[in-house]
Amino acid sequence: MKSEASFIPDGGVTSPKGFLAGAVKAGIKYADKRRLDLGILFSEAPCTAAAVFTTNLVKAAPVLLDQQRLKSGKARAVVMNSGYANACTGAQGMADAIEMTEMTARHTGVSTEDVLAASTGVIGPVFPMERIRTAIPKIKLTVEGGHDIERAIMTTDTVPKEAAVKVGDYTIGGISKGVGMLHPDMATLLCFLTTDANIEAGFLKQALRKAMDISFNMISVDGDGSTNDTVLIMANGMAGGKQITKSSKMADIFQDALNKICIYLAKENARDGEGATKLIEVTVSGAANLKDARLAARTIVGSSLVKTAVHGCDPNWGRVIAAAGRSGAMMEPDKVELEIGGVTLFKDGAPVPFEEKEVAKYLGGKEVSIALNLHLGRAKAMAWGCDLSAEYVKINAEYTT
Amino acid sequence: MKSEASFIPDGGVTSPKGFLAGAVKAGIKYADKRRLDLGILFSEAPCTAAAVFTTNLVKAAPVLLDQQRLKSGKARAVVMNSGYANACTGAQGMADAIEMTEMTARHTGVSTEDVLAASTGVIGPVFPMERIRTAIPKIKLTVEGGHDIERAIMTTDTVPKEAAVKVGDYTIGGISKGVGMLHPDMATLLCFLTTDANIEAGFLKQALRKAMDISFNMISVDGDGSTNDTVLIMANGMAGGKQITKSSKMADIFQDALNKICIYLAKENARDGEGATKLIEVTVSGAANLKDARLAARTIVGSSLVKTAVHGCDPNWGRVIAAAGRSGAMMEPDKVELEIGGVTLFKDGAPVPFEEKEVAKYLGGKEVSIALNLHLGRAKAMAWGCDLSAEYVKINAEYTT
């Protein structure tokens, strides 16, 4: 059996067997129905399911509802929308989230308890429920609809983020949206993963958490964690085969494949960060422990000054060292070594002469790699983010209006 | 004796008796000597002195030097510059910082041990020491020079930040510069306070820390803490009077006056934050404890999404609630109450209908007040910041080049 997961061309959330999806233009935010904004993801067979949600104390109604329903470890369908987040909406918001799942259950013929909800968009406004009521019964579920549902959850995203990987007899698919209010340890805004592998519920939950720690929890766009962040995985077992549990021989192969698709989708979110013109990849090695490596990598990739310097192709490397220094990670300035694009700029506590023009040219590319070695231990972590542009300000100064 | 401190018109760092200052155009960053960039602050009499420095593990050479010298609790002069930060400059940087203080000692006729140094500017480059060697002997020390030295430490600051308050028989003066790489709990970039009051060294240190906690530690411009942050106070006792100690009757009056000037200078730094068009004041009340109140206030004022919304005059209040929710402060969403400019937008866990146009108009002003009541306890804190504009990106994308 081939154990290396490989990407499927044009793959997405309906690539695994038995998953269907569809979306419509319900006019949730834009009454002129200019875009897809409401969709359903559906499995033809019962699924084990697990999710990771925002750590924000202010949680949107659909997050609170899903947390309750996922105690069963099962799900069959998710109704999702963009436009409004259904967060800070009080009792009315919860009633609306429940009603959406009830209507979806009737439309798809499954139990309401097996339907989850997810929303993204402006925090605060209550839903135009009459438009949602009219729209849900019009959603057609097909394999092709996988691409439509990704478009229905996009907000300030400029490109869809979809992928599927094949490993052995099964497939893992996924879609995700960002691309602002995006910060480590908050999962990301929305990500839905599907697989036709047969996965035991406890292992599914553990594998999802592990994958998050090296993917969505290692990206940052603007340091703001959302009220709606949700990463959900559903496994329907329709590829057949023995159930994979924590102690299965196949467990590592599934974990690797899941990591692969999660890192891919996380990086695509960072690359498409609001106003971004390039992807920044930060690798911190030689840290005393994994926590420090993660902390330093995420602090650097989240630093406004690092992000603006990269945007301006300005080899102002001192900002990277300064960000690491305030990260909370253990660090001895005299041991630190910094490389940008493979060029050493700082070593043993002192600057190393370098060709400014050469590094500035490198920073002008579409992917920028920053590598910091703390030379204190063996722990290593990677984080991804994007540059900070004037366009970010424009997008976020005019979002609700 | 009048116990309420009052501002002195056109006051500054040389308003207290016995303080002199001067600055020159040394050409540290710009060889064409287009601006003042090197100065000395000097006291005619010995001073007790105390300082608060950056908590960044990467500390500039002058910070490391000052920490060493201030163990004596004394100082007579400070040599300071803008252009380069003398941070991440290794052994050469420390040798340069020491040499600057030695030259200043010779020029002013005091002991080298009584001279401190402070630098601000680009991290990394080593000093053009030959230019500094030529320039130091040319610095003339006068009372009028107080305004020049403020200009010599400005970097991306657009306006000087100077003040002096009179209370009873003595005066407290101060200058400060920001206005990027500025974040709570890192002090600010540079601030020098002087007083002719007679203050015992231990009390001076304690009073400075208390004042910092409600002023410079409660402002944020971009979430990046610097390698050079320094707030220094020197007290020369030349106003006469009995020494003020922790247990003096006068201790509270001095503390109040010091708080007043520190809050003023801190707010001026926030108002002049890189690219800022307005000052944002966040008050969090009803917190379970002071730590939570501070945490929530600083997280809100530091949120990129709150800052961009205020910049765009967009009453997107959900971002304020979301920022508080991820701050780490204890919070029960159902109890939270939010006001912007005195208009209630959110109460008891649900939105309150409001006139969008009215709040948008308010957000168009030069000062924006956001008040969040957590309704959990009695602790309260205030924090100050600024909006995030496209100009911030422009300034920081092109800083070193």
Domain membership of residue A22 (yes or no) is: yes
Instruction: Tell whether B1 is covered by a domain.
Output: no
The CB density around residue B5, as the number of other CB atoms within 10 Å, is: 22
Please write the tens of the pLDDT for every residue from B64-98: 999 999 999 999 999 999 999 999 999 999 999 99
Q: Which of B262, B300, B303, B281 has its CA nearest to residue B369? A: B281
The answer to whether residue B171 is catalytic is no
Does the beta-carbon distance from A399 to B311 stay under 8 Å? no
d(CA B261, CA A253): 63
A179 belongs to a structural domain: yes
Domain that residue B356 falls in? 279-397
| Structural domains counted in chain B | 2
Which one is predicted more confidently, B58 or A136? A136
The torsion angles phi and psi of A132, rounded to 5 degrees, stand at -70, -40
Residue pointed to by tokens 């009215």: B358
A65 shares its domain with A38: yes
Query: Is the domain of A353 the same as that of A223?
Result: no
Cis preceding-peptide flag for B179 (omega within 30 of 0): yes
Beta-carbon count within 10 A of B50 CB: 24
Percent of chain B past pLDDT 70, that is, above it, reads: 97
Model-level pTM? 0.86
Amino acid type, B389 = S
Q: Read off the CATH number of the domain in which A356 is found.
A: 3.10.20.340
Residues 6+ apart with CB under 8 A from B223: A223, A302, A303, A304, B183, B302
> Phi and psi at residue A93, in whole multiples of 5°?
-65, -40
Rounded Cα distance, B88 and A273, in Å: 31
The answer to whether the Cβ–Cβ distance between A312 and B396 falls below 8 Å is yes
* Residue B223 to residue A303, Cβ atoms within 8 A: yes
pLDDT tens column, A88-132 = 999 999 999 999 999 999 999 999 999 999 999 888 889 999 999
Exposed e or buried b per residue across B332-361, where buried means at least 16 C-beta atoms within 10 angstroms of its C-beta: ebeebbbbbbeeebbbebbbeeeeeeebee
Taking the C-alpha atoms of residue A92 and residue A129, their distance in angstroms, rounded to an integer, is: 11
Last-in-domain residue among A237, A271, A305: A271
Q: Is residue B173 part of a domain?
A: yes
Does A341 lie in the same domain as A246? no
A353 to chain B nearest CA, in Å? 10
Q: Who among B56, B122, B351 is closest to A326 (CB)?
A: B56
Residue A153 lies in a domain: yes
Q: What is the pLDDT along chain A (401 residues), one digit of tens a residue?
A: 456 899 999 999 999 999 999 999 999 988 888 899 999 999 999 999 999 998 889 999 999 999 999 999 999 999 999 999 999 999 999 999 999 999 999 999 999 999 999 999 888 889 999 999 999 999 999 999 999 999 999 988 889 999 999 999 999 999 999 877 666 444 347 999 999 999 999 999 999 999 999 999 898 877 777 888 899 999 999 999 999 999 999 999 999 999 999 999 999 999 998 889 999 999 999 999 999 999 999 999 999 889 999 999 999 999 999 999 989 999 999 999 999 999 999 999 889 999 999 999 999 999 999 999 999 999 999 999 999 988 888 888 876 65
Last residue of a domain, one of B271, B294, B311: B271
Would you call A130 exposed, middle or buried from its count of C-beta atoms within 10 A (0-12, 13-18, 19+)?
A: exposed
Residues B327, B294: one domain?
A: yes
| CB nearest B309 (choices: A302, A326, A396) | A396
Task: Let me know if residue A2 belongs to a domain.
Answer: no
CA gap B310, B372 in Å, rounded:
16
CATH of the domain at A61: 3.60.70.12
Residues B309 and B383 both lie in one domain: yes
* Encoded tokens for B329: 């402060």
This model of the complex carries an ipTM of 0.82
Residue in the structure block whose two tokens are 């009499």: B45
- CB < 8 Å from B in window 168-187 of A: 180-181, 183, 186
Nearest to B393 by CA among B275, B279, B276: B275
A378 and A325 assigned to the same domain = yes
* Interface contact flag, A224 B322, Cβ < 8 Å: yes
Answer yes or no: do A322 and B58 touch at CB < 8 A. Answer: yes
Three-state DSSP class for A280? Answer: strand
Q: What's the token pair of residue A279? A: 């992807």
Q: Of B271, B289, B319, which one is at a domain's C-terminal end?
A: B271
A323 touches chain B (CB under 8 A): yes
A297 and A212 both lie in a single domain:
no
In this complex, the residue of B59, B311, B318 whose CB is nearest that of residue A88 is B318
- CA dist., res. A67 & res. A79, Å (int): 15
Is B156 in the same domain as B180?
yes
Query: Letter for the amino acid at B199?
Result: I
Q: pLDDT over 90 for what percent of chain B?
A: 79
Tokens linked to A43: 């499995």
Q: How far is A5 from chain B (nearest CA, A)?
A: 36
Q: Tell me: do A254 and A331 sit in the same domain.
A: no
Q: Are residues B47 and B103 in the same domain?
A: yes
Task: Indicate the SS3 state at residue B63.
Answer: helix
Computed on alpha carbons and rounded to an integer, the radius of gyration of chain B in Å comes to: 22
Confidence of residue B182 (pLDDT cuts 50, 70, 90): low
The type of residue at A10 is D
Same domain, A248 and A283: no
> Is the preceding peptide bond at A179 cis, omega within 30 degrees of 0?
yes
- Whether A353 contacts chain B with CB within 8 A: no
In a domain, A95, yes or no: yes
Same domain, A241 and A283: no
pLDDT digits over A343-366, tens only? 999 999 889 999 999 999 999 999
Q: First vs last Cα of chain B: how many Å apart?
A: 54
* d(C-alpha A81, C-alpha A23), whole Å: 9
